[in-house]
Amino acid sequence: MHGEGSSRKVAREELIQARKLLAKSHAERSYAAGEPILQVRDLVKHFPLTQGVLFKRQVGAVKAVDGVSFDLRKGETLGIVGESGCGKSTVAKLITHLERPTAGTIRYKGNDITRASGRALKAVRRNIQMVFQDPYTSLNPRMTVGDIIGEPFDIHPEVAPKGDRRRKVRELLDVVGLNPEYVNRYPHQFSGGQRQRIGIARGLALRPEIIVADEPVSALDVSVQAQVVNLMERLQDEFGLSYVFIAHDLSIVRHISDRVGVMYLGKLVEVGTETEIYEHPTHPYTQALLSAVPVPDPEAEGRRERIVLEGDVPSPANPPSGCHFRTRCWKAQQRCAEEEPPLAVPETFSDTLPGEAVHHPSACHFAAERAAVVGPVET
Amino acid sequence: MSLLEVRDLHVEFHTRDGVAKAVNGVDCGVEAGETLAVLGESGSGKSVTAQAIMGILDTPPGRITGGEIVFQGRDLLTLPGQERRRIRGAKMAMIFQDALSALNPVLSVGYQLAEMFRVHQGASRKEARAKAVELMERVRIPAARQRVGDYPHQFSGGMRQRIMIAMALALEPDLIIADEPTTALDVTVQAQVMELLADLQREFNMGLILITHDLGVVADVADRIAVMYAGRIVETAPVKELYKAPAHPYTKGLLDSIPRLDQKGGQLDVIRGMPPNLQQIPPGCAYNPRCPMARAVCRRDEPPLYEVSALRASACHFWEEMCDAR
Amino acid sequence: MTGTPAIEGPDEAETLAGVESEAERARGKGPSSPGREPPERARSMWSDAWHDLRRNPVFLIAGLLIAFLVLISVWPGLIASRDPLSCRLGRSLDASSAGHWFGFDTQGCDVYTRVVYGARTSVTVGVCATLGVAVLGSVLGGLAGFFGGVWDAVLSRLTDIFFGIPMILGGLVFLSMTGSRSVWTVVAFIVLLGWPQVARIARGSVITAKQNDYVLAARALGAGNARMMTRHILPNAIAPVIVTATIALGTYIALEATLSFLGVGLQPPTVSWGADISAASQGMQFRNAPHILLYPAAALSLTVLAFIMLGDAVRDALDPKLR
């Protein structure tokens, strides 16, 4: 009698376990390649401009991010490009919960994590990690490399049992291509490229699914940039990571990204696959941006047509009405000042089919293709 | 006669940890109307070379230990200080990377431009101001007349760089040295500034030394490129030939390691290791620890700058192999 | 750009090996042979600073002097066998003699013994006031810098108010209101008016440290305020506080002497250099017997000098900009 009861209990527990496993595998399956792992909708971040010392009053707002939406799929790299002040770094900080959005939602695997706090936030942080731009200020100079890479385990003790941490840190150093014997060294004993590897190892420690990299190579020497880019690509394959790769260097973004979003003054102006954006850009800003990037090949350079934009980026505290780009755009007309173009497949291309290169979202009333923006593609 | 001839220039820095050999025998020259790009990574000695030519090297800790800098037939290194100063500004000028720190924040840009004319040409206050406005228009600053009294922080990065260019141009020098003039700027602004610089150079028929780490920027504007590594020029060539057929493994490595806008690539080819410590430059060829072609002779003998063709030179023992490889 | 990237560190060959391990991995060789080089001793800012200090003659001289001062303030009996309070008026202003090297003061006390015993007062006031100022100042300044906003606004105004009170004037007012003053009254007064100096420094350096990406990185990992403060901000913000406090120590010793000289500091029977200097200068007695002024004044100057030299040496060692 007694034994029967306990065996029934065991059986029920097994059932529960099995069901949990099933649910888990189902969850994993539904987030297999192609499914969005991160969905960002209408994200807005305004930084208030205040006056006064003790009693502050708001006199305006810097609209750093002004309605940004995108999906990130599992295992893919989404590149976000734009010039300084376009809000791309703020997007990184919003996704990693370093800043709170003014409005909009961020969903991770379907769950709204926009306003997560406490334990839920901690769980989010385990899955979304960040790699910073400046390898000189992103590592605490008073901590050894072992402590820096081991800190994630101190904060999330459930990830690695205490006795296991030292080994894990050494493993991580090895994974990013550094000698595991370096655990007791301090950051200043490393070069910029090596420091960036340490930063990547720290980001990897919690085995996140998403890594947000904000200009991860722009502070490095040319010959070292390639090493770090290759490392990031290898790690993506090894750990099935999804990257949000933020940079101003369009060449590197093309190299590493599957899809690319172009930002201007707090908004995404064009989103598409790497081919769509680089070979069939339809937004004038994307075209100007691409044509301005010098190509290290004088012959290819001679075959390109350069669009030189007039003027500077307007202040995000006071962006132009309608289309933000109209003040520098050669196509601008009255309509652009009155009506903000939505980020959607432009009307002009409404008769194209999905899969055609021009069939991608572009926030322009007068979207059109333009020849020889990037230059002839060599194979 | 060349406008500028640098011969076997050596510069050392004395630091607490020892002597850093920043420049180790640089030979190069610029003609009037020519653009020479000096390409290199941090620590390659490109900026130090520029500072030595300009005569603004911090001494100490820096010290020019050998060589000649012949400008319009005169060796600048043997000139008395006063004559040197007269050449600087009037005959040769420099454009820096960070315009905000190179301009005086408490003086209006108009004043700073006018000062050049008042000091060097003894112009009156009014004349000088008129010339300042003219100069600002020349570098295509919109509404120059209204903005002449503005302070540096009131201009955007691109506009500040234009003001720097205006200051350099003020006395119509024969040589301009631009040290990473567009590195701090956004791509679209970068293009504007580079174009302006190239136009003005053509107009005034100046010699231009463009110092940069960006292989892309140079491709468009330079006539000739000198690639520096560990304080030496390792390759010099007309721009098209350099990109098409590098004759030094370092140049080739650099070209292969940067992703290109017009190509979707897989794995990038990587130059392994990192630039050498200037206090312990490897014996033989400084590039040998990172070079895929390195052999015993590279670890032993420092390669001279071999003549590849009339206009080209390469400091690699195996330059012929580099050229045959294609 | 200078010729030497400072970061390249002391061992280029080894760091090179570190990166090449990736090339080896790619070729399927595994990591560079472990244990090839012994794990080296960790070098931190503090050990670097100590390394510098040990070679700095200024620090060595100041350190020896201070060690000696601390020793005699704990055990004055080591070098003075008499009682500083047993005085005989009959020997008033007597010049130095065998066994009484510094002579006698107006009250007929042995000047040498009083100079030795005075060290205890000075060192106690200096050390305790500095500790108090450093703790109070860095806590208030640190809170203002870390939390910002209203905290910062309120604490910063409070700092400004206290900063505006002149030390001597404040001493004349506050201390004259107290009845009997001990060493602790003076310490409390110095802490009360001294903390803003440290609070300002602490606030500034906390704000600087807070802006570093590694603090953001810690936050992205989920670190709480306590961890960020203790692990990331404090260690990087503490150096300027230590430097300011070390330099201030000497000035607090001088301040105690000044207050005692003005009659609002320490009172008999506490032995204090300031009080003795004050006594010596009354009625111009030092004209006839200069030794009663000379010795306590020299001891005071030497002590203040030693602490300020120490502060300078510490600043040189901790300030990365001078490296």
Q: What are the structural domain ranges in chain A?
A: 74-102+114-257, 282-349
Q: Is residue C39 part of a domain?
A: no
C103 CB-contact burial (10 Å; exposed 0-12 / middle 13-18 / buried 19+): buried
Contacts of C3 in chain B (CB under 8 A): 11-13, 20-23, 43, 45, 48, 62, 231, 278
Pick A294's closest partner by Cβ from B41, B192, B220.
Answer: B220
* Gyration radius from chain B CA atoms: 21
User: Does residue B62 sit in helix, strand or coil?
Assistant: strand
Better pLDDT: A301 or C118: C118
Per-residue pLDDT reduced to its tens digit, C239-281: 888 888 888 888 888 888 888 888 887 777 778 888 788 777 7
Nearest to C20 among B15, B17, B272 (CB): B272
**Helix ranges (DSSP H) in C164-182:** 167-177
CB within 8 Å of chain C, chain B residues 142-201? none
Nearest residue in chain B measured CA to CA from C24: B272
What is the 8-class DSSP label of residue C42? Answer: P
Assembly ipTM: 0.80
pLDDT tens figures, A124-178: 899 999 999 888 889 988 888 999 999 999 999 888 888 888 889 999 999 898 8
Coil, helix or strand for B308? strand
B216 touches chain C (CB under 8 A): no
Q: Find the residue in B nearest to A234 (Cα).
A: B267
| DSSP secondary structure string for all residues of A113-178 | -TT--HHHHHHHHHHEEEE-S-TTTSS-TTS-HHHHHHHHHHHSTTTS-GGGHHHHHHHHHHHTT-
The answer, yes or no, to whether residue C320 has pLDDT greater than 60, is: no
Q: Is residue C20 part of a domain?
A: no
Would the pTM count as exceeding 0.95? no
Mutate to test the interface with C, among B274, B281, B288, B299 (most CBs of C within 10 A): B274
Q: What does the alpha-carbon distance between residue B54 and residue B48 come to, in Å, rounded to a whole number?
A: 10
* Continuous H helices in chain A: 2-30, 88-95, 118-127, 145-155, 165-175, 192-204, 222-239, 250-256, 274-279, 284-292, 298-302, 334-338
Nearest chain C residue (CA) to A199: C217
A222 chain-B contacts, CB cut-off 8 A:
41, 213-215, 254, 257-258
pLDDT at residue A259, as a whole number: 93
- Cβ-Cβ contacts under 8 Å, A137 against chain C: 212-214
Q: Do B261 and A278 touch (CB under 8 A)?
A: yes
CA angle B219/B221/B227 to nearest 5° reads: 55
C96-141 per-position pLDDT tens digit: 776 667 777 777 778 888 888 888 888 888 899 999 999 999 999 9
The predicted pLDDT at position C130 comes to: 92
| C227 lies in some domain | yes
**CB-CB under 8 Å, A130 with C21:** no
- The tokens describing A378, both together, are 């060599």
Counting residues of chain C whose pLDDT is more than 90, the rounded percentage is 9
Q: Is C267 helix (H, G, I), strand (E, B) or coil?
A: coil
Contact B11 C16 (CB under 8 A): no
Q: Which of A84, A250, A297 sits opposite B219 (nearest CB)?
A: A297
C219 falls within a domain:
yes
Place C26 in a pLDDT band, splitting at 50, 70 and 90. Answer: very low
CATH number of A74-102+114-257: 3.40.50.300
Question: Looking at the partner chain, which of C5, C10, C20 has a beta carbon nearest the beta carbon of B43?
Answer: C5
Chains A, C: CB pairs < 8 Å: 127
CB C174 within 8 A of CB C189: yes
Q: Which two tokens stand for residue B96?
A: 């820096």
Q: Quote the CA–CA distance of A27 and A74 in Å, as a whole number.
A: 13
What rounded mean pLDDT belongs to chain C? 77
Tell whether B17 is within 8 A of chain A (Cβ).
Answer: no
Domain that holds residue C258: 45-75+103-322
Residues C225-232: contacts with CB under 8 Å, at least 24 apart = C225/C146, C227/A154, C227/A155, C229/C142, C229/C146, C231/A140, C231/A143, C231/A151, C232/A140
CB-based contact A177 C223, cutoff 8 Å: no
Q: Is position C50 within any domain?
A: yes
Give pLDDT, residue C290.
Answer: 77
Q: Is C12 on the interface with B (CB under 8 A)?
A: yes
Chains touching A, CB cut-off 8 Å, 3+ pairs? B, C
Peptide bond into B60 cis (omega under 30): yes
Of C4, C5, C19, the CB nearest to B272: C19
Task: Give me the mean pLDDT over the C194-219 stretch.
Answer: 90
- Is B165 in contact with B197 (CB distance < 8 Å)? yes
Distance from CA of A54 to the nearest CA of C (A): 6
Give the per-residue pLDDT at B273: 79
Domain tally for chain C?
A: 1
- Residue C202: predicted pLDDT: 92
Q: State whether B267 and A233 contact (CB < 8 Å).
A: yes
- Cβ contact, residue pair C5, B45, below 8 Å: no
Of B215, B259, B274, the CB nearest to A191: B274
Q: Read off the pLDDT band of C323 (50, 70, 90).
A: very low
Q: What is the pLDDT of residue C34?
A: 31
pLDDT at C238: 85
Nearest CA in chain A to C233: A140
CATH assignment of the domain containing C147: 1.10.3720.10
Average pLDDT of chain A to the nearest whole number:
84
Low-confidence ranges of chain B (pLDDT < 70): 1, 265, 325-326
Find, in chain B, the residue whose alpha carbon is nearest to that of A315.
B156
Q: Does A191 touch chain C (CB under 8 A)?
A: yes
Percent of chain A residues topping a pLDDT of 90: 36
